[in-house]
Amino acid sequence: MKYCMHCKIKVNTATHKCPLCNMELHANPSGKSSSGEGDSSAPGKYPSMKHERHYEYNFLLRLLIMVSVVIGSTSILINIMTYSGDLWSLVVSGTIILLWITVAYPLYIKRNIGHFIIVDVISLSAFIYMVELSTQSKGWGLTYVTPFLFIAATLMITFILVIKRLNWREYTVYQTIMVILGFLPPLFCAFKLVTVVWPSILSAFYSFLTVTGMYIFVHKKYGDELKKRFHI
């Protein structure tokens, strides 16, 4: 134990300077213990701060972002300068964004597969709808691709749910979201966005089957899980 003449306090930390006034410390006048420095039994000591690495500088990631921005913005610029009724640059930038969402996002962000399936399905549907809007070929995306994507995704999540029993809780939520999405395509028909009705009906029907299946096989657990997730 050391003593600061200036502050008139005892100091019980391995240091030469007073933590309060930064003056030189002296041996304790009462002389009880003077080992002071290196006294590992001195209570209240803390591990020292490690030099923290602030963040890892990922050059490849930054290069890819720069390249994407350059390509995307260049195509938009050219498209605007030479505009002739066609918004082809939307397809170019859309493709770049889609690649980031489907490839880079799962690589860099740690989430569960169900999350990625849903993100991919929604972004893919949105992308295809945008391609339809900006090109001449209309009507195929919402009519065929979106409903079948929804069905495929629902089926995939059901599949994972059956295989990965341990982690079933997480997947019930994704399954629920997918089922709700599955009921959306009939709305496209109602709003006259699509003219061929059967794929949309099929999507809703498949959602219905999935819900029924969940209810028949696991309704107690499933209900409990939903209660937790959706309590207000």
Site for other proteins, rule CB under 8 A: 1, 7-13, 15, 18-22, 40-50, 52, 224, 228-232
Q: Are strands 9-11 and 2-4 parallel, antiparallel or unpaired?
A: antiparallel
3-state secondary structure of 27: strand
CB 58 within 8 A of CB 104: no
139 contact partners, CB below 8 Å, separation of at least 6:
132, 194, 195, 196
* Residue 159, both tokens: 């599949």
Alpha-carbon span 213 to 179, nearest angstrom: 12
Specify the residue, 20 or 163, whose C-beta has the smaller distance to other proteins. Answer: 20
Helix residue ranges, H only, the chain? 59-81, 88-99, 105-108, 113-134, 140, 146-163, 168-182, 185-190, 198-229
Specify the residue, 193 or 218, whose C-beta has the smaller distance to other proteins. Answer: 218
Specify the residue, 138 or 219, whose C-beta has the smaller distance to other proteins. Answer: 219
Specify the residue, 192 or 231, whose C-beta has the smaller distance to other proteins. Answer: 231
Q: How far apart are CB 172 and other proteins at their closest, in Å?
A: 12
Specify the residue, 15 or 58, whose C-beta has the smaller distance to other proteins. Answer: 15
Q: How far apart are CB 48 and other proteins at their closest, in Å?
A: 6
Q: How far apart are CB 52 and other proteins at their closest, in Å?
A: 6
- Which residue, 86, 85, 89, is CA-closest to 73? 89
Q: How far apart are CB 15 and other proteins at their closest, in Å?
A: 8
HSE-up of residue 131 (Cα within 13 Å, Cβ side): 17
Q: How far apart are CB 51 and other proteins at their closest, in Å?
A: 11
What is the Cα gyration radius of the chain?
A: 31
Q: How far apart are CB 174 and other proteins at their closest, in Å?
A: 13
DSSP-assigned beta bridge partners for residue 2: 11, 27
Specify the residue, 8 or 192, whose C-beta has the smaller distance to other proteins. Answer: 8
